[in-house]
């Protein structure tokens, strides 16, 4: 079990999630915009949402049934959110677990 105390709300917001039981190709991207992307050696998707113009998500394939996601939101612009998500994903990528094949 993980215990944590929420920090005071600061902007922008950053979240990192591991989808241990969901493949990148199984993400429900209905109503989202996405383009193929690459983070280091990892296949990825850069995902945006017209309803949230200051948010950007990069989801990276960790194996056949796992992915990792970086989300940056509440920035001044989508471009700023995506630039931040890209920088975080690049730093995070070497540390991510990989699913054994």
Q: Average pLDDT for residues 46-55, to the nearest whole number?
A: 96
Task: With respect to residue 4, please indicate whether it lies within any of the assigned structural domains.
Answer: no
Task: With respect to residue 6, please indicate whether it lies within any of the assigned structural domains.
Answer: no
pTM: 0.87
Q: State the residue range of the domain holding 44.
A: 13-95
For 51-66, write each residue's pLDDT tens digit: 999 999 999 999 999 9
pLDDT band at residue 98 using 50, 70 and 90 as cut-offs: confident
**Structural domains counted in the chain:** 1
Q: Are 20 and 34 in contact (CB under 8 A)?
A: no
Q: Are 56 and 76 in contact (CB under 8 A)?
A: no
What pLDDT score does 2 carry?
45
Task: With respect to residue 2, please indicate whether it lies within any of the assigned structural domains.
Answer: no
Task: With respect to residue 83, please indicate whether it lies within any of the assigned structural domains.
Answer: yes
CA 4, 84, 33, 68 torsion-angle sign: negative
Task: With respect to residue 64, please indicate whether it lies within any of the assigned structural domains.
Answer: yes
Task: With respect to residue 91, please indicate whether it lies within any of the assigned structural domains.
Answer: yes
Q: How many CB atoms lie within 10 A of CB 19?
A: 16
């Amino acid at each position: 079990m993980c215990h944590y105390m929420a920090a005071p709300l600061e902007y922008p917001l950053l979240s990192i999630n591991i989808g241990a039981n969901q493949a990148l190709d199984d993400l429900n991207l209905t109503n989202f915009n996405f383009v193929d992307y690459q983070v280091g050696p990892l296949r990825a998707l850069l995902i945006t949402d017209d309803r949230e113009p200051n948010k950007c998500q990069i989801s990276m394939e960790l194996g056949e049934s796992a992915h990792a996601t970086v989300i940056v939101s509440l920035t001044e612009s989508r471009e700023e959110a995506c630039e931040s998500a890209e920088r975080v994903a690049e730093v995070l990528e070497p540390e991510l677990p990989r699913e054994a094949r």
